[in-house]
């Protein structure tokens, strides 16, 4: 019996994907490294430093740890500038309806995101105090597909993992949910993930009651 829903942030609650892409693309251009949408899709759900490693796979030179930290910081500055224009209008269709219906059904709701920009993004979209708990990139040592961020969210909700449903748009996120012993609803880019318990195009039009029925 599910008693809590943990939402991934980027790509589930809000559409920041294009901003991440543009910021990484700018860095790649500076470094003279080719960077495609396909490379970008491998960065979904994983930490900033691991995302940088994806980009640097095509680089001809190697970088020291300090240089990598500086490159990640540079990308983040560009990303934060792009996020300045973020508003509640960029909340993805169906996300708020799903959260509201979850609440009405007595389920607890949380955010579980690898992003260290989570507090900033939640503020920009007006949801800072909306969730019962938030666990994000600032809380973790291991990013998805490790389940750490979701396990922290579950703990903050005082809910055992097997009673949590995770909503994810990243393959790494679906794998993290399952590794943590949780149910997974895969949407968007992860919608075909074989390990997901339920797959859907997006949250738009999904009814929580129906999803719970499919899981019981
Ligand atoms: C999310 C995104 C990833 C991103 C990660 C870290 O999981 O899907 O693409 O790399 O957050 O984001 P940050 O905002 O901390 O750079
Ligand atoms: Mg995501």
Q: What is the CATH number of the domain that holds 147?
A: 3.40.50.1000
Whether residue 112 is found in the same domain as residue 125: yes
Rounded CA separation 4/210 (Å): 15
> What is the rounded average pLDDT of the residues 82-94?
96
CB-based contacts of 213, cutoff 8 Å, min separation 6: none
Residues 49 and 137 placed together within one structural domain of the fold: no
**Domain edge (last residue) among 54, 83, 112:** 83
Final residue before a domain boundary, out of 56, 83, 110: 83
pLDDT value, residue 17: 92
Kindly tell me if the per-residue pLDDT of 24 is higher than 90.
Answer: yes
Residues 199 and 129 in one domain: yes
What is the predicted pLDDT for the residue at 2?
Answer: 97
Please count the structural domains in the chain.
Answer: 2
Neighbours of ion ligand 2 (CB under 5 A): 8, 10-11, 169-170
What confidence score (pLDDT) does residue 216 get? 84
Which among 71, 61, 79, 64 is positioned nearest to 115, based on CA atoms? Answer: 79
pLDDT at 179: 98
The CATH code of the domain that includes 39 is 1.10.150.240
CA-proximal residue: ligand 1, atom 16 (nearest): 48
pLDDT at 53: 98
| Closest ligand relative to 137 C-alpha | 1
| 103 and 198 fall within a common domain | yes
- The band of 182, judged by pLDDT with boundaries at 50, 70 and 90, is very high
Q: Which of 48, 83, 118 is the last residue of a domain?
A: 83
182 and 97 assigned to the same domain:
yes
Q: Is the CB of 119 under 6 A from ligand 1?
A: no
How much of the chain, in percent, has pLDDT values that exceed 90? Answer: 100
- Which domain range does residue 52 map to? 17-83
> Cα(145) to centroid of ligand 1, in Å?
13
Mean pLDDT of the chain: 97
| Catalytically annotated residues | 8, 10
pLDDT band at 106 (very low <50, low <70, confident <90, very high): very high
Same domain as 128, residue 181:
yes
Please state whether beta strands 183-186 and 198-199 pair in parallel, antiparallel, or not at all (unpaired): parallel
**Co-location of 8 and 27 in the same domain:** no
* Cα 46 to ligand 1 centroid, rounded to whole Å: 6
Ligand 1 site, residue 116, Cβ cutoff 6 A: yes
With 0-12 CB in 10 A as exposed, 13-18 as middle and 19+ as buried, what is 96? middle
């Amino acid at each position: 019996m599910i008693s809590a829903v943990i939402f991934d942030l980027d790509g589930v609650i809000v559409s920041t994907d294009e901003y991440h892409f543009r910021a990484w693309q700018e860095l790649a251009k500076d470094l003279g490294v080719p960077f495609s949408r396909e490379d970008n899709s491998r960065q979904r759900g994983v930490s900033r430093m691991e995302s940088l490693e994806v980009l640097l796979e095509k680089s001809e030179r190697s970088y020291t740890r300090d240089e990598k930290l500086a490159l990640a910081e540079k990308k983040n500055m560009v990303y934060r500038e792009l996020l300045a224009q973020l508003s509640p209008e960029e909340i993805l269709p169906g996300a708020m309806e799903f959260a509201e219906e979850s609440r009405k059904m007595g389920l607890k709701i949380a955010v579980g995101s690898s992003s260290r920009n989570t507090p900033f993004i939640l503020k920009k979209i007006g949801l800072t105090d909306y969730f019962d708990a938030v666990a994000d990139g600032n809380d973790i040592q291991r990013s998805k597909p490790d389940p750490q961020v979701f396990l922290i969210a579950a703990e903050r909700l005082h809910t055992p993992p097997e009673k949590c449903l995770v909503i994810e748009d990243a393959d790494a996120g679906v794998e993290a949910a399952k590794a943590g012993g949780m149910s997974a609803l895969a949407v968007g880019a992860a919608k075909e993930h074989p390990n997901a318990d339920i797959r859907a195009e997006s949250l738009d039009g999904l009814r929580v009651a129906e999803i719970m029925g499919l899981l019981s």
